Structures are given as C-alpha cells and as structure tokens.
Amino acid sequence: MSRRRNARKKDFRTPRYARRGRVVAAVMLLAFGALAARAVYLQVLNAGELQAYGKKHHQREVTVPAARGVLSDRNGTALAVSTPVDSVSAVPGELAQAPQSWPALCKQLGISRQTLRRELEAHRGRGFMYLKRHLPPAAAAPVRALGVRGVHLRREYRRYYPAGAAAAHVVGLTDVDMRGIDGMELALEETLRGEDGKKVVLLDSRRNRVDEWVRKGVRGGGDVRLSLDSRLQRIAHRELAKAARRHRAAGGSAVVVDAQSGEVLALTNVPSFNPNNRKGVTHRHLRNRAVIDVFEPGSAIKPFTIAAALESGAASPGDRVQTSPGWLRIGGKTLRDPRDFGELTLGGVVAESSNVGIVKIAQKLPPRALQDLFAALGFGAPPAIGLPGESAGVLPRGGGLRPIERASLSYGYGLSVTALQLARAYTAIANDGIMAPLTVMHRPGGASGRPGQRVFTAATARAVRAMMEQAAAAAGTAAQARIAHYRVAAKTGTVKKFMDGAYAAGRYTAVTAGLAPASRPRLVMVAVLDDPRGEKYYGGEVAAPVFQKVMTRALRMLNIPPDGIGAPARGRT
Amino acid sequence: MRSALFIAGLALALSALQLVDVRHQNLAAFMHIQQLAGEYDRLNEQWGKLLAEQATWTVRRVESRARAELGMHNPPPGAVYYLLLRPAASVAAAGAQP
C-alpha cells in the first residue's frame, strides 16, 4: 500500500509533470493578467468615454410636466381644464438614418413625406425637433407602437375652456407652452403653474425603461376658484351679444357684481373669441373692454353728483330745482335738456336726467366736492381686482377747474371710467354708502377680504337709491330696466363719443347702471354698448334691456326674494 | 477556519442569489409602477374630460335641450304668481324660482 502511494507521489515529481504544471500556471496567470489589464483599461483609463456612451444610450433625463391647476367658477364648474396630450419629437440625425420607417410614421402623423424630409433637412445637426405637437393620447399611441428609432413622445398638456367665448376675457389664455398670457391665467400664473419635475430613466438595449430615479419631485399646480358664475356669465354674454347685433354696436361690456362682497359674478364683452380655437382672433377680440376701455359715463354719473350735494348739505332730498327754460348758459356755452322739464324734485332730475337741473345743483357745491367724491369712488385709479391691463380712467385731479369744466363733471363729461369702475362705484349706493373692494376671486360665505370703504352716509345712499327707483319707474328714462316683482334702481346714460379730438355727431356710448332689489340691494350691474349705429342709441333703449334681461335671470338664479310684489306690472320683457 | 470559510462561501452564494431575486423584484415592481403611472395618466385625462363635460352640461346643454327638446321657457312676468303666506312680512316666493 505505502509503496504504491509513494510511487504515485513520485509520479508528480517527475520533471515532465512539473513542467506541465508550470506551463498551466503561467497561462492562467497570463490570462488573469490580461483580464485585469482589460479591466483597468475599461474601468480606469477609458472610464469617462464609456460612461458617457452608456449614459447617452441607456440613460435619459426626462422632464415630468406639472399639470396646470384647474380654474373653476364659484360653484366649482370648470372654466379652464388641462387635458393631457402627446407631442411627438425626433432626434433629426437618428430619424434621417431610418428612411424605411418614414412612410408608416408619416401616415400616423398625417404629414407628407416631403414635409418630413424638408423638416429633417432644416433641423440637420440639431438634437431635437417637433414632428407634431398636442396629439390626443389615443392618436399618439400608434406612433409609440411603431417604435421608430429617434422618435419620442412627450407628455404635455393642453388647456380646454368649457365656458368658451362668454368667459374668455376673464379666464384668459395660455400659450402653447402652457404659460398664462392673458386674463386670470396670467394673473394667477404662479399658483396655477406648479413646478416641473425631473427624473433619470434607464433604458435597456430595446429602449424599454427598466429603472428610473427622481432628480426633482414634481409639484402640481394649485386649483383656483373664481367669483364668476358660469351660468350668469353665459346669460350676460348672450344678451349682450344679441343687443350688440340688434343695435349694430361696435362692442359692449356687462358686469354683474355682488353688492356686499364685491365679488364679480359676471364680466363679459363683445366682441369675444373662442379660446378653444383661436383662428382669426385679433387684438380687437382679445381686449377685455370692461376693464380696459374707458368712456365718459355721462348721465350715469348723476346719482353721485346728487350724493355729493346731499353729503355737503348743498341740497336735501326734498329740494326742488327750476330747470326752465330747459337750457343754461355757462362760460359762453349753452347746455340743453331735451325739453323744458319745468320745476323738478331731486328725484325728478335723476328720473328725467335733466342736465340743467344737475348743473344747478352742482353749482351750489364747494369747488372740489365733486372731484373729491369721484376720487373716493375710485375713478382715476385702477380697481386692482387682479386682471391684467386694468385702466385707471381719467379724473381731473387739480384744483382750479373752470365753471364749464365743473359743470361737465356733474353730468359725466370730462372724466372717463371703465365699466368695472362704474360698477364698483355703484356698490356704494347699493351698500348704504360703503364701496365694496371688487374681486374676481371666490370669497366663500361672502366674507370680504379687504374691508369696504365708506364714501357717503347710509342716509345719502338710501335717498339716491330712491331717486334711481324713480328713474326706473314707468315714466323714467330707465323704464326698460324694470323687472316684474322686484324693485329696481337704475340710471341710464347716452354719451357722445369723443373721437379724433372732437365729439362726433351721431356717435354714442349707451350705458345703464343699476341695482336690485332696491329695498335691500344684492346685485349691481353695468351694461355698456359702444357706438350703436342702429335706429336706437339711447342708454335707456339699448343698454337698459340688457340690464333688465340679465338681472331678471340673475335674481331668479340666485334665489333672491322679490321685494316688489304687487307693484304695477310692466309690459315689456 | 475551514468551516468559517465554508459558511462565508455559502452566505456569499445565498446573497448573490438574493441579489438576483431582488433585482428581479425591482424590475417587476418598476413595471408595475409604470403601469400604474399610465393608469394615473389615463384617469387624469378622463377626469379632465369629465370636468369639461360637466361644465358644458351645466352651462349650456341642459338649458338648450330643455328649450329645444322639451319646449321649456322662462315664464313671462305676467305668468308668475307669488303666494304671500304671511301678509307683507316675509315673502315666500313660491313657484317663481326656476
């Protein structure tokens, strides 16, 4: 036994086996050495280049777009919603090398092969180009399924505006990259936008995502509720548009405001535009007239002149004014009433809209009283409700106005206002002397964000309201603003348009401003029609019916109880 | 010494297997999350559509269909009657609200 074992041991020690062993060891060492060298070459010497290659082909940093917040009205009805869409992009160099994939791709995208070739040529040498933007996800899915090399889909969002043209000016617009460019979309950009996230995705050789890690978390945009009421907005827009068509007006605005909270319930203009299809939309359509366009308010300012007179003690509600013979000379100019109204009460001056009467009242005022009240009512300063482009209007600030200028102010010439400013001023009459700060943001429970501002006493406000009720009586100038079963206080204005440096003959702005129910006002509305070229052009004939129709619906819709039951029924609807 | 080496070797082999398993699970979970993200997108898309649709119904369609298909209209002023439950004190607006 032991001999045999010894013999075997001996066998390994023979020189032949020993040499073989050394050769094997050397080969293995060499092989390992080669592997180690290769490893060092790849991992140390060549690392940068290879990592770059790996990153380029298997790692991609992608943006995770934040969904833009939803804009809705006071009842939660959507006004602007983002819907996801897919944009198809390409790496021009990669796509150019795969012409065999073009026909299928072009068919899916609905573009011609010539267009594709031209576009590829135009983007040669660049790393990115869009093939088609904003496809509905269902239409983009087949493109993804084609799996063409160098073609990528990117998730983006598109804005849809359910309220369409009616709310287009307030809601505003976003551009193709989802940045707000007008209206509340612009004003609330910070809140609505959110923040895009970033993540790195790892692709396998077949370009499937196999892993990802988040670089920066995505923060979705916040939702915002506006004070608007979509239904009222639509009714206001429809009635305004109808009136503008019927009276061949160049444009118009309507504003409905909650008298107590100052919330804007409806703000609409014509002409407007369809925000979901902006073809053929010009600056004329985009302009938010109620906020931007200024006009001389004319007779619609008279209630405030009366208020100034009552406040200063220059007149008291029971006073009478002699307007005969129906004209008055001031500083070499003659001021006329439509006819000789004789002796009028203050209410009669408002109801008949007598220029002579109002000027006679204003002449008793201290020199700056009217200007001061108008400034307190916010004329000459932007309403600061947050809409872009708010005009301040014009109010002469300095002292030393000539008598004719002071007289003009008293019946609404020599200052200019926006429809929104006029509505805000009227909230003071509605709200027993306290002017509500306007807002387009929803204030739940009617809680006002900023406190209102007292501009005159409650007694003055009530007296003026009663006079405006006379104007909206059957024989008043605002008779067409009357609403069955409700008490309405309203004032109309028919203002000569100032064009090219002079008051143009036969060109007017028709205005009606008012509130309801007069016993306990809840709503203030202003309707303006610019340059009606039809047969009728008086504020009481053109704008008052718009006021009446919209206000009727608004009172019913908001469940505001009637305060004029049993009052003589009125004929017109 | 030898048994320690053996245990270490076994542990190594086991952890290697586990690594493979975890990698696999990771991939499966990732695919699941991708699928869920797709689902989220799809639901989001649908939510947006539903919001828009709801808005269209409330603002436009209900009224126009009530007018066109059911022949409904706002009552003219003469057709609205108010019933006063307590004389002149509080006004109950019966039948007038839409």
Q: Residue B40 is encoded by which pair of tokens?
A: 């989220």
What pLDDT sits at residue A10? 55
Beta strands in A65-121 (DSSP E): 71-72, 78-90
How many other C-beta atoms lie within 10 A of the C-beta of residue A9? 9
Query: Which residue of A71, A75, A81 is the best one to mutate when testing the B interface, meaning the one whose CB has the most B CBs within 10 A?
Result: A81
Cβ pair A162:B55 closer than 8 A:
yes
- Cα A386 to Cα A184: distance, rounded to the nearest angstrom: 8
Q: What is the mean pLDDT of chain B?
A: 83
- Does A85 lie at the interface with B, CB-CB under 8 angstroms? no
pLDDT at A149 over 90: no
d(CA A530, CA A254): 11
Q: Give me A195's structure tokens.
A: 């923040």
Chain A residues whose beta carbon lies within 8 Å of the beta carbon of residue B43? none
Tokens 């047969």 sit on residue? A535
Give the residue extent of every domain in chain B: 2-79
Chain A CB contacts of B96 under 8 Å are 485, 556, 562
As to burial, measured by CB atoms within 10 angstroms (0-12 exposed, 13-18 middle, 19+ buried), residue A470 is buried
Of the candidates A252, A264, A300, A169, the one whose C-alpha atom is nearest the C-alpha of residue A523 is: A264
A546 in Cβ contact with A509 (< 8 Å): no
Is cis: bond before A382, omega within 30 of 0? Answer: no
Superfamily of domain covering A57-91+154-226? Penicillin-binding protein 2a (Domain 2) (3.90.1310.10)
* Radius of gyration for chain A, computed over Cα atoms and rounded to the nearest angstrom: 38
Is residue A350 within 8 angstroms of chain B, CB to CB? no
Whether residue B70 has pLDDT greater than 60? yes
Half-sphere CA count of A420, side-chain side, radius 13 A: 32
**What pLDDT, on the 0 to 100 scale, is given for residue A445?**
65
User: Which pLDDT does position A490 carry in this prediction?
Assistant: 97
Q: Is A189 helix (H, G, I), strand (E, B) or coil?
A: helix
| Residue A424 confidence (pLDDT) above 80 | yes
**Cα–Cα distance list, A226 to A73, A76, A267, A426, A538 (Å):** 5, 9, 12, 22, 34
CB pairs under 8 A between A and B: 86
Q: Say which range, A23-27, A40-44, A170-174, A364-368, has the weakest mean pLDDT.
A: A40-44
Over residues A269-273, mean pLDDT: 95
What are the backbone angles phi and psi of residue A356, rounded to the nearest 5°? -60, -45
Which of A171, A210, A482 best probes binding to B when mutated, by most B CB atoms within 10 angstroms? Answer: A210
Q: How far is A189 from chain B (nearest CA, A)?
A: 19
| pLDDT band of A146, cuts 50, 70, 90 | confident
H-type alpha helices, A431-538 = 458-471
Helix (H) or strand (E) holding A17: helix A15-40
Residue of B45, B59, B97 with shortest CB distance to A83:
B45
Percentage of chain A beyond pLDDT 90 is 62
What are the C-alpha distances in Å from A533 to residues A196, A249, A392, A504, A544?
A: 51, 6, 28, 13, 17
Provide, rounded to the nearest whole percent, the portion of chain A with pLDDT above 70.
95
SS3 content of chain A, % helix, strand, coil (to 5): 40, 25, 35
Mean pLDDT along residues A172-180: 90
- CA dist A156 and A176 (Å) reads 10
Output the pLDDT for position A11. 62
pLDDT, mean of residues A51-73: 86
Q: B30 vs A562: CB contact, 8 Å cut-off?
A: no
Chain A residue with minimum CA distance to B48: A83
Q: Mean pLDDT over residues A105-133, rounded?
A: 88
pLDDT band at A232 (very low <50, low <70, confident <90, very high): very high
Instruction: Tell me: pLDDT of A14 over 80.
Output: no
Mutation for testing the B interface, residue in A62, A74, A75, A83 having most B CBs under 10 Å: A83
CATH 3.40.710.10 domain locations along chain A: 230-557
Average confidence score pLDDT of chain A: 90
| Whole-number Å distance between alpha carbons of A179 and A466 | 48
Name which of A28-32, A138-142, A225-229, A371-375 the model is least confident about.
A138-142
Instruction: Provide the token pair at A310.
Output: 């009552």
Residue A447 pLDDT > 80: no
DSSP string, A329-386: EETTEEEE-SS---EEEHHHHHHHT-HHHHHHHHTTS-TTHHHHHHHHTTTTS---SS
Q: Where in chain A do CATH 3.90.1310.10 domains reside?
A: 57-91+154-226
Banded model confidence at residue B87, pLDDT cuts 50, 70, 90: low
Do the Cβ atoms of B41 and A155 come within 8 Å?
Answer: yes
Residue B94 has pLDDT above 80, yes or no: no
Residue A429's nearest CA partner among A334, A366, A548, A513 is A513
- Positive or negative, the CA dihedral A524, A224, B61, A166 is positive
The Cβ-side half-sphere exposure at A375, using a 13 Å CA radius, reads 9
Helix H or strand E encompassing A242 = helix A230-246
Contact A209 B34 (CB under 8 A): yes
Q: Is A264 helix (H, G, I), strand (E, B) or coil?
A: strand
Answer whether B74 sits within 8 Å of A82, measured CB to CB.
no
ipTM: 0.72
Class of domain A230-557: alpha beta
Quote the pLDDT of residue A289. Answer: 96
Please tell me the distance from the alpha carbon of residue A478 to that of residue A468, in angstroms, as a whole number.
9
Tokens coding A472: 């909206």
DSSP-based three-state secondary structure for A149: coil
**pLDDT tens figures, A196-224:** 999 998 888 777 788 888 989 989 899 99
- φ and ψ of A245, to 5 deg: -70, -50
Q: Does A134 touch chain B (CB under 8 A)?
A: no
Distance CA A315, CA A312 (A): 8
